[in-house]
């Protein structure tokens, strides 16, 4: 059985991101050729919707990682196409055939903002620090042993395969961000409110108000000055999306977290509207094994629910040009996506009724569903209620605010839930979404086919792994473990004073540090 | 005000604070979720979540958590933010200036405008009085946050005369500080001025109808002196009462306005801390609010005594 390690955390992190941002969906995205820097700018003003609980990468939730990005460079970079590129690390890779032993070599010319040097010892200190971290991100490298191979190389050994370790150590996940070993050893608690990283900027603690305004000043001794596009970066927390857009329109800020409700207005105002469709919204049919005695144990019922959803109409009405319909939980650019599965459950209410009748539910049934009150999930929930009612399924919707929703969804008392979940590499989705120990699979549904195929994929070469992933996705769709509806994007809006910003399915958020003044 | 009365008053205030803080502790504990969930993220594993709960002491009974907080308070330690780990004193100190600026500026503006409008309204009971009444009704009926959104839309988004949001410390220059204070202070002042103007007008008008005013006029005292010196002094008790209420109201009333204008004050942060279940921060803010309310009431009591009021409720 595949171990629950990296994937569960990464998956859950992305799902959290999806919920937190109230994202919507979309087809490809608006992708440019990347920043065309117009020299170094003065101050970059950014408005985001949520402050971090802590600035320490070991205690930080992934959705607030933009607050760490200015100060903390990551070991591995990921470009807009999703390719891994060197950052603080120059080389990395598995040295065994089972993806359990991983070696990584760091640059030898990097110093932290407190003057400490980056080397193998610093990396080992960081990995141990992450082991003791509070957030789910810290657990991305948990469970390993860390040893110094030479001055700049560290070997990580896990007892279970970790094929996605390189992805986990990119700047997309805060686990890849490296902290000064001196700061960790001196006063790790202080890292909650200050930064001591190897990134291009350093937090100006005197001008920062935790939870509200974060000011970062450019470092004079940064190892890669070409990547410093600003003298300083100011991130302000503005919870209301309309207020963020107003601040952008008046020129008070240059870059904001957006949402579906303000996307058209941002476009009309001439702003760069950035979005990538990475969040799947739909129903998770949790009681697949009939643990709660619901009709969902019968695959025909689950398939009937899928046939009853008019996905294309939902996508058009809910998301317009920003989203697209889906029957799968991975985006088309992700390994495991099966193009041939599109249309498997084309809208067919008659077939849905027929399947329900075959399963013995010709008069329909009632189904308890827990849902979040976040904007997109709430709207989708209402649509689902209406569409399923047409085939005789009465949804007893229990809509709750975020914290209460997660307690309900993971509590094992609801046979189904409306979910918003960020697409990830399939092993991550296995650990977080559909594996037997996944947090989004609270009733522990299992499938022999999925378990066997995932186990083989873990140690398979890339091409073979992709084929095996496709088998898993096919099984999920055919067995109707979910009733996905749409893929929705995470939105960002940027001023035209910034160089064109690039987001893709492979990298739905541009790192703050890559934002540059327009040429 | 006698020393005994003063002591009784303090004891009652302290009791009130303890009851309030305990109640708040329980209420925050009863709301769904907790700080551990905030820290680990909504989708962390059960094991991670439980571990953080234990580390934060959130697995202890509520009464024990409250006891621990109270003992810390008695030692002068407000504790650390559960969420960020930063000392609560530091967290709130960073947010003191914006909230104080907002409260004091609004209090001064509302007091000057409200009393002036009230006195003028009382002396010219025609259209000015009716205007004060109308303003009072509108100011009392319309929520502050709505006024704030309208002002921001007009003066910041459309006219672009002022920034939509944010705060500039006064040490960075009076200009930027003032620019960011205008809209939030105006928002709070509109509501506060209205009621004060009406109360002042009624109180002063009542004084102007008293026999001693007729006597003063008979002695040739000028109308200006009668109005601003004698009638206003006679009307001071209800005005002081309203001012005290306004000060208390402003302390809590800044919460929404700080949110609307994204001002990093501690009033608005109370909402965030509550949502994050950051109990030490919530309790500390409660403590500050309680102190402000207690001190304000004390000042009002002292002013009553100074104004020779015999009955003190």
Q: What is the CATH number of the domain that holds A227?
A: 3.40.190.10
Could you state, in order of their start, the residue ranges of all structural domains in chain B?
3-74, 97-276
Residues A312 and A296 in one domain: yes
Whether A440 sits inside 8 A of B43 (CB atoms) is: yes
Domain that holds residue A112: 3-271+495-514
The whole-angstrom separation of Cα A193 and Cα B94 is 12
CA A344 – CA A327 distance, rounded (Å): 8
Tokens of B113: 């405008």
Number of domains present in the structure of chain A: 2
Q: Is residue A352 part of a domain?
A: yes
Query: Could you tell me which of B93, B144, B92, B142 has the C-alpha nearest to residue B252?
Result: B144
- Indicate whether A483 and A334 sit together in one domain: yes
Query: Which of A476-485, B75-84, B131-140 comes out lowest in average pLDDT?
Result: B131-140
Please indicate, yes or no, whether residues A183 and A292 belong to a single structural domain of this protein: no
Please state the rounded mean pLDDT for residues B79-84: 79
Chain A / chain B CB contacts < 8 angstroms: 133
d(CA A205, CA B94): 10
Domain presence at residue A220: yes
Residues 441-500 of A with CB under 8 A from B: none
**How would residue B11 be classed by pLDDT, with cut points 50, 70 and 90?**
confident
Q: Is A239 on the interface with B (CB under 8 A)?
A: yes
Tell whether A485 and A503 lie within a shared domain.
no
Q: Give the residue from B36, B43, B48 with the most A CB atoms within 10 Å of its CB, the best one to mutate.
A: B43
- E strand or H helix at A257, and its extent? strand A255-257
Q: Sort out which chain A residues have CB atoms less than 8 A from B84's CB and list them.
A: 53-54, 192-193, 210-211
Residue given tokens 């498997």 in the structure block: A344
Q: How far is CA A425 from CA A7, A458, B119, B150, in A?
A: 8, 12, 72, 46
Same-domain status, A109 and A232: yes
| Residue B94 with chain A: CB contacts under 8 Å | 208-210
pLDDT at A29: 40
| A45 in B contact zone (CB under 8 Å) | no
A210 CB within 8 Å of a chain B CB = yes
Residues A282, A177 share a domain: no
Cβ–Cβ contact A214 with B under 8 A? no
pLDDT digits (tens, 9 = 90+) for B17-73: 888 888 877 887 777 667 777 777 665 667 777 888 888 788 888 888 888 888 888
CB contact under 8 A, A403 and B42: yes
- Contact state of B41 with A16 under an 8 Å Cβ cutoff: yes
Tens of pLDDT along B96-130? 899 999 999 999 999 999 888 888 888 877 777 77
Token readout for A142 is 């948990």
Residue A420: inside a domain, yes or no?
Answer: yes
Q: Does A5 touch chain B (CB under 8 A)?
A: no
Same-domain check for residues A291 and A248 = no
B174, burial (CB in 10 Å: exposed 0-12, middle 13-18, buried 19+): exposed
- Closest Cα partner for A152 from A199, A93, A107? A107
Q: Is the pLDDT of residue B173 over 60?
A: yes
Sign of CA dihedral B3, B9, B12, B18: negative
Residue A278: φ, ψ to 5°? -130, -5
Q: What is the token pair recorded at A345?
A: 């459950």
The 8-class DSSP code of residue B228 comes to: I
Of B39, B90, B260, the CB nearest to A53: B39
Q: In chain A, which residues have their Cβ closer than 8 Å to the Cβ of B44? A: 9, 12, 135-136, 439
Q: b/e for A482-498, b at 16 or more Cβ within 10 A?
A: bbbbbbbbbbbbbbeeb
Contacts for B177 with CB less than 8 Å, ≥ 6 apart: B101, B167, B168, B169, B170
Start-to-end CA distance of chain B, whole Å, equals 12
Please tell me whether residues A94 and A201 are part of one structural domain: yes
Residues A407 and A426 in one domain: yes
| CATH (one of 1.10.3720.10, 1.10.3290.10, 3.40.50.300, 1.10.10.10) for B97-276 | 1.10.3720.10
B272 chain-A contacts, CB cut-off 8 A: 51, 211
Residue A407's Cβ-count burial label (10 Å; 0-12, 13-18, 19+) is middle
* Subunit contact B43:A12, Cβ cutoff 8 A: yes
Looking at the structure, do residues A180 and A320 belong to the same domain, yes or no? no
pLDDT in tens, chain A (519 residues): 333 333 333 334 344 334 333 333 333 344 334 444 557 899 999 999 988 888 999 888 778 899 999 999 999 998 888 889 999 999 999 999 888 999 999 999 999 999 999 999 999 999 999 888 876 655 567 779 999 999 999 999 999 888 888 888 988 778 899 999 999 999 998 998 899 999 999 999 989 988 889 999 999 999 999 999 999 999 999 988 999 999 999 999 999 999 988 999 999 999 999 999 899 999 999 999 999 999 999 999 999 999 999 999 999 999 998 999 999 999 998 999 999 999 999 999 999 999 999 999 999 999 999 999 887 888 999 999 999 999 999 999 999 987 688 888 988 999 999 999 988 889 889 988 999 988 899 999 999 999 999 999 988 888 889 999 999 999 999 999 999 999 999 999 999 999 999 888 888 889 999 999 998
- C-alpha span between A404 and A134 (Å, rounded): 21
User: How far is it, in rounded angstroms, from Cα B94 to Cα A172?
Assistant: 30
Name which of B37, B45, B264 is nearest A213 (Cβ-Cβ): B264
Q: What is the pLDDT of residue A15?
A: 41
A10 in Cβ contact with A140 (< 8 Å): yes
Residue B41's pLDDT is 66
Interchain CB contact of A250 with B (< 8 Å): yes
Nearest to A246 among B33, B43, B157 (CB): B157
- Nearest residue on chain B to A213, alpha-carbon basis: B264
A108 within some domain: yes
ipTM greater than 0.85, yes or no?
no
Helices assigned H by DSSP within A269-348: 299-308, 311-314
- Domain assignment present for residue A519? The answer is no
A416-422 and A272-284 as β-strands: parallel, antiparallel, unpaired?
antiparallel
Chain A environment of B157 (Cβ under 8 Å): 246, 249-250
Residue A117 lies in a domain: yes
Q: Are residues A216 and A323 in the same domain?
A: no
Are residue A448 and residue A502 in the same domain, yes or no? no
Residue B305: what pLDDT?
Answer: 78
- For B40, which of A134, A208, A213 is closest by C-beta distance? A134
Please tell me which of the candidates B84, B153, B272 has its beta carbon nearest to residue A193.
B84
Nearest chain A Cα distance for residue B283, angstroms: 17
- Report if residue A23 sits inside a domain: yes
């Amino acid at each position: 059985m595949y171990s629950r390690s990296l994937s569960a955390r990464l998956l859950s992190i992305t799902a959290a991101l999806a919920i937190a941002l109230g994202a919507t969906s979309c087809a490809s995205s608006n992708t440019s050729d990347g920043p065309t820097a117009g020299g170094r700018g003065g101050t970059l003003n950014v408005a985001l919707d949520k402050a971090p609980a802590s600035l320490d990468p070991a205690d930080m939730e992934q959705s607030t990682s933009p607050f760490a990005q200015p100060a903390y460079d990551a070991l591995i970079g990921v470009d807009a196409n999703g390719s891994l590129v060197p950052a603080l690390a120059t080389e990395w890779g598995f040295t065994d055939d089972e993806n359990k032993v991983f070696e990584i070599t760091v640059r030898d010319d990097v110093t932290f903002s407190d003057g400490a040097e980056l080397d193998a010892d610093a990396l080992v200190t960081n990995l141990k620090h992450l082991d003791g971290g509070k957030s789910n991100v810290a657990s991305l490298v948990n469970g390993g042993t860390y040893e110094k191979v030479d001055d700049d190389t560290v070997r990580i050994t896990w007892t279970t395969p970790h094929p996605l370790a390189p992805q986990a150590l990119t700047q997309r996940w805060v686990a890849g961000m490296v902290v000064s070993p001196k700061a960790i050893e001196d006063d790790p608690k202080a890292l909650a409110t200050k930064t001591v990283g190897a990134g291009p900027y350093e937090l100006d603690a005197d001008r920062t108000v935790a939870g509200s305004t974060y000011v970062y000043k450019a470092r004079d001794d940064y190892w890669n000055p070409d990547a410093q596009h600003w003298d300083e970066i100011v991130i302000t927390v503005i919870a209301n999306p309309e207020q963020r857009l107003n601040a952008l329109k008046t020129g008070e800020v240059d870059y904001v977290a957006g949402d579906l409700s303000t996307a058209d207005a941002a476009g009309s105002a001439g702003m760069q509207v950035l979005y990538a469709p990475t969040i799947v919204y739909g129903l998770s049919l949790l009681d697949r094994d009939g643990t709660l005695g619901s009709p969902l144990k019968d695959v025909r019922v689950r398939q009937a629910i899928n046939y009853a959803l008019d996905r294309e109409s939902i996508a058009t009405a809910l998301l317009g040009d920003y989203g697209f319909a889906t029957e799968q939980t991975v985006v088309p650019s992700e390994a495991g996506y099966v193009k041939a599965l599109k249309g498997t459950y084309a809208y067919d209410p008659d077939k849905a009724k027929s399947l329900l009748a075959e399963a013995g539910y010709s008069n329909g049934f009632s189904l308890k569903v827990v849902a979040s009150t976040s904007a997109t999930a709430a709207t989708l929930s209402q649509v689902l209620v209406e569409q399923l009612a047409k085939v005789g399924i009465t949804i007893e919707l229990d809509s709750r605010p975020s914290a209460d929703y997660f307690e309900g969804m993971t509590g094992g008392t609801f046979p189904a839930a409306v979910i918003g979940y960020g697409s990830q590499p399939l092993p991550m989705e296995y650990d977080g979404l559909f594996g037997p120990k996944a947090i989004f699979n609270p009733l522990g549904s299992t499938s022999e086919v999925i378990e066997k195929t995932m186990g083989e994929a873990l140690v398979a070469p890339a091409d073979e792994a992709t084929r095996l992933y496709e088998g898993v996705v096919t099984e999920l769709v055919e067995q109707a473990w979910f009733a996905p509806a749409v893929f929705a994007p995470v939105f960002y809006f940027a001023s035209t004073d910034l160089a064109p910003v690039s987001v893709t399915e492979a990298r739905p958020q541009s790192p703050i540090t890559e934002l540059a003044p327009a040429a | 005000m006698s020393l005994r009365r003063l002591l009784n008053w303090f004891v009652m205030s302290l009791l009130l604070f303890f009851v309030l803080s305990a109640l708040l502790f329980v209420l925050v504990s009863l709301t769904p979720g907790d700080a551990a969930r905030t820290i680990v993220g909504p989708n962390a594993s059960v094991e991670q979540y439980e571990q953080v709960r234990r580390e934060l002491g959130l697995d202890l009974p509520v009464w024990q958590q409250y006891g621990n907080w109270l003992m810390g308070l008695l030692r002068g330690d407000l504790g650390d933010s559960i969420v960020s780990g930063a000392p609560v004193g530091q967290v709130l100190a960073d947010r003191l200036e914006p909230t104080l600026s907002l409260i004091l500026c609004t209090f001064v503006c509302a007091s000057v405008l409200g009393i002036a409008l009230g006195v003028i309204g009382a002396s010219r009971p025609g259209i000015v009085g009716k205007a004060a009444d109308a303003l009072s009704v509108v100011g009392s009926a319309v929520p502050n946050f709505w006024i704030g959104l309208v002002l921001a839309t007009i003066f910041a988004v459309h006219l672009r005369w002022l920034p939509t949001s944010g705060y500039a410390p006064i040490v960075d220059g009076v200009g930027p500080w003032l620019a960011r204070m205008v809209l939030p202070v105006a928002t709070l002042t509109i509501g506060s001025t209205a009621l004060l103007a009406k109360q002042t007008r009624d109180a002063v008008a009542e004084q102007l109808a008293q026999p001693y005013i007729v006597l003063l006029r008979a002695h040739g005292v000028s109308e200006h002196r009668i109005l601003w010196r004698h009638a206003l002094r006679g009307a001071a008790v209800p005005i002081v009462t309203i001012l005290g209420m306004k000060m208390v109201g402003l302390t809590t009333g800044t919460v929404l306005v700080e949110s609307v204008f994204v001002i990093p004050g501690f009033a608005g942060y109370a909402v965030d801390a509550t949502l994050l279940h950051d109990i030490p921060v919530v309790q500390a803010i409660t403590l500050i609010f309680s102190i402000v309310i207690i001190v304000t009431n004390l000042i009002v009591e002292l002013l009553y005594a100074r104004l020779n009021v015999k009955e003190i409720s």
